[in-house]
Amino acid sequence: MEIGFIGLGNMGEPMAANLLKAGHSLTVFDLSKTALQAAVDAGARTAASPREAARENEVVITMLPAAAHVRAVYLEPDGVLAGVRPGVPLIDSSTIYPATARLIGKAALKQGNPPRVRRHGRRTGGGTLTFMVGADTALFDTLKPVLAGMGKNMGQCGETRTGQIAKICNNLLLGISMIGMASHETRRVARDRTEQARRNHQHIDGTLLERRYV
């Protein structure tokens, strides 16, 4: 499949590499010349802008650091929506605010481009990502061959932006689990160490109790 891929950072680079390994044809864009060269060495073509990367491709994928980057890449005059053909699915794998996902989704749908998808996971090199997909059933089925090149697990979460919400909930649960594990380890150390360690544990415990988590 012909894919436009924008964002070749710590997450995007291995995702793009796995798509190339799966036999897809990629046109890539990134601000880093080093990242672009690595993609070219792996078999990709480069584009001079997000608009050019989106043009003439069957799917567009973005993997960007923050909501501001996503808005710029999609909405600016030289962005994705200025170049993509009507009907081409747009896959955003960035971790951003649901409000931004809603904004981009409305703009994309207005011109006939179905959005969007979320991903979860850090083990991108092995192609083991989990994808939480915000899309209707027909679009989900269309995107499965592309997602399969980057991950092993994929689930349909509902309409546009629901994948983003599911990912944020997942991150919240992960954070709560990490706090619990840290508290448990602190208690273990406090039992096994000096009186000073016990006092340190009390200070840490008090700090955690002062925070409010939903």
* DSSP codes joined into one string, the chain: -EEEEE--STTHHHHHHHHHHTT-EEEEE-S-HHHHHHHHHHT-EE-SSHHHHHTT-SEEEE--SSHHHHHHHHHSTTSHHHHPPTT--EEE-----HHHHHHHHHHHHHTT--B-EEEE-S-TTTT-EEEEEES-HHHHHHHHHHHTTTEEEEEEEESTTHHHHHHHHHHHHHHHHHHHHHHHHHHHHHHHS-HHHHHHHHHHHHHHHHS---
* Below-50 pLDDT ranges, the chain: 208-214
Active site residue 167: yes
pLDDT at 29: 98
Q: Read off the tokens for 30.
A: 């990134």
pLDDT at 211: 47
CA–CA separation, 193 and 180 (whole Å): 20
pLDDT at 8: 97
Identified catalytic residue from 33, 110, 144, 167: 167
* DSSP codes joined into one string, 21-32: HTT-EEEEE-S-
Cβ pair 214, 168 in contact under 8 A: no
pLDDT at 209: 47
pLDDT in tens, 161-199: 566 666 666 666 767 877 877 776 766 666 666 666 566
Q: pTM of the full predicted structure? A: 0.74
